[in-house]
Amino acid sequence: MLAMQLADEWTEYVAATAIGAHARNYRQAIDCFCQYVDKVLGPWAEEASLSDPDLFDTLVKWELSLPEGYASGSTKPGLLAASLRVLIIRRDDHPDRVVAAALARLARGPALLGSGEKTERDEFTRPEKRALVRAAWKSAHATRKRLDDGWALAEQGRHPDEGSWTSIPDLLWGLACEEIVAEDLRRFVPGSREWPKELLEFTAGPGKAPYPQTARPQLARRLFASLYPTNLDLHAFRVLLMDATGYTSEEVACFGEADVEFLPKGVRLTLLKNRAGRLRHRAFRDQSPPDAPAPDDDGDGQLTVNWPRREASEVVRQLMDLTARVRAKAPHVTDTLFVSAGVRPDYATVFDRWNPGSPGGRFSEWLAAMDVKVEGEQHIGRLRKSTKVEKAIVTEGRIDAAADDHTEETFARHYAQGTTLRILSGRTIATAQQHWFDKALDRVDGPTVISGTTDINQGLLMGAGLSAREAEDIMTGQLDMGVSHCKNPYQGPYSRPGELCAVAPLRCLECRNAWILPTNLPQLLLFKAHLERLRTLLRPQAFSRLWGQGWVNLNAVLDDRTPEELAQARQHIEAGEASLDLPLAAHTEFDA
């Protein structure tokens, strides 16, 4: 009874929501729960029902046991538990169906399991994406040529009864004109041992022969592939549309002929995103023609194709033209241009919507057929992420612009973690750090030092960057501030412009206006002695905060002096010829 109750809810839920491939999650949850109930309840399992409150403990234990069958961090246990709860809630919402109150509260209450850890797919690299788009155009042109050749060959044939059941043009003519069906190939085409070489190679490839047991089905598929696009062919158009529009694989494959409006310079598409339940009307404008035509060879001298520009209108036109015959034979499919033809093992022909996950027609198999090598998972969703990365780069990292078709939270959760954006972010941070580091190095946070034993004259100072007036004032001593000279004491960085500097000489060794001449060396030695005395009185943190930069600059200036210069300066100090005038605050600072 329990299985029937849940199965009924599942059937109605799938029909009402059209959730497609996700329906299997609910079926797996039902199977898993019913198997657990059979194991735990034994012979009483047949009487189990959602209306029985005694099932509460069993449901709780089942949910808590789910992680045991999966790897650590798997998202599957939480998904199965949530799926079963949805069905219970749906049944409880129905007025004529009874669900025990305890079970309903549990289903509507907080989850017992976490959602697990989901590893986001990384985007394709830029070279990989270029290779994908290039291979897609190559595939699209090859498909067009194959179908054109197939229909041209069909026009040369006649009914196989009048011609031959081993003649390729006759077989194509019969299928194209619907004079024969695929079943006739099984009935009337002789065994592959009687086939001419041309038919053998047409079926299996140049220099190959098909297996006798599968020759006829293989021939039927090959003939239909010469007249209609296959599942494998349509991957190219999905890649091109994702590249041209920037939208998801779901959206570019879910618009029909009625959803296409060609504009004078572009196309307007109606895009449906089932997962988000969003319907969008978007216009995609054609690009301006390039100044130079695209190259016609791959660089190795072999001709390929003249690549069209990145235009959604061109891709849509080619897709509509390519699938026109299939859509005419599948009038029930109106919501997508992605339709294909195929032949089943029982020779039944199918004209229906595209199935990108069918055996022999998967995206990974298309990559292998086009010889495209990509690192990591071969999933089309990675192309969407590559497009979002490009948009983020173009918009200079503005999330609101890059997240133009979803929320910013979605962008941060699913797209911002890609390798390219992480590298770009790292480069941005490194560039910013280098910029400020270089700026700090370029900034002179200390005095300009004039060293040497030669006489200091006005010409030497002017050559070092001073004006004639500033050089003359320094030479005459009018700008002497005690431990250095100042080229402009009324434009200091520590006082308002136009006011006399109020921190000289204590901060002169940290000032860009200070100029130190050889004659200032005795005062510098006296100032060093003053700072050494402060170092013994102040805590290291306080000294570093108040005097750290000046102390470093002072030592750098003195380290550049020769021992002879230092000895001569000390002689001047000992002889009483040099003194250091400091404000009273400099002697009482340690008391603060």
* Confidence class for position 7, pLDDT limits 50, 70, 90: very high
Q: Is the pLDDT of residue 428 over 70?
A: no
Taking the C-alpha atoms of residue 364 and residue 377, their distance in angstroms, rounded to an integer, is: 9
Q: What pLDDT shows up at residue 218?
A: 94
Question: Does residue 505 have a cis bond before it (omega within 30 degrees)?
Answer: yes
- The distance in angstroms from the start CA to the end CA of the chain is 86
- 277-308 pLDDT per residue, tens: 578 788 888 876 555 444 444 444 333 333 44
Q: Is the pLDDT of residue 261 over 90?
A: yes
Q: What pLDDT shows up at residue 350?
A: 94
Q: What pLDDT shows up at residue 47?
A: 84
Q: What pLDDT shows up at residue 410?
A: 57
CB 518 within 8 A of CB 451: yes
Q: Is the pLDDT of residue 349 over 90?
A: yes
DSSP 491: S
Highest-confidence segment of 333-347, 431-445, 510-524, 535-549: 333-347
Q: How far is CA 530 from CA 81, 141, 397, 536, 537, in A?
A: 76, 85, 53, 10, 11
CB 47 within 8 A of CB 37: no
Q: Is the pLDDT of residue 118 over 80?
A: no
* Confidence class for position 327, pLDDT limits 50, 70, 90: very high
Look up the pTM and report it: 0.57
What the block records as the tokens of 543 is 């000294």
Q: Is the pLDDT of residue 459 over 60?
A: yes
Higher pLDDT, 392 or 272: 272
Max Cα–Cα distance, the chain, nearest Å: 131
* Confidence class for position 60, pLDDT limits 50, 70, 90: very high
Q: Is the pLDDT of residue 95 over 70?
A: yes
- 224-253 pLDDT per residue, tens: 999 999 999 999 999 999 888 888 888 889
Indicate the angle between helix axes 101-108 and 76-93, nearest 10 degrees.
130
What mean pLDDT, rounded, does the chain reach? 83
| DSSP state letters, 392-458 | HHHTTT-HHHHTTTS-HHHIIIIITTSHHHHHHHHHHHHHHHHHHHHHHHHS--S-EE---SSPP-H
The mean pLDDT value for 536-556 works out to 87
Q: What pLDDT shows up at residue 445?
A: 59
CB 151 within 8 A of CB 227: yes
3-class SS at 263? strand
Taking the C-alpha atoms of residue 462 and residue 469, their distance in angstroms, rounded to an integer, is: 9
DSSP 257: G
- 122-171 pLDDT per residue, tens: 778 888 888 999 999 999 999 999 999 999 999 999 999 999 999 999 99
**Which residues contact residue 509 at a Cβ distance below 8 angstroms, ignoring those fewer than 6 apart?**
446, 447, 483, 484, 527, 549, 550, 553, 554, 557
Residue 378, Cβ density class (10 Å: 0-12 exposed, 13-18 middle, ≥19 buried): middle
Q: What pLDDT shows up at residue 494?
A: 80
* Confidence class for position 19, pLDDT limits 50, 70, 90: confident
The mean pLDDT value for 189-218 works out to 91
Q: How far is CA 533 from CA 52, 55, 509, 588, 590, in A?
A: 88, 84, 17, 12, 10
* Confidence class for position 419, pLDDT limits 50, 70, 90: low
Q: What pLDDT shows up at residue 123?
A: 78
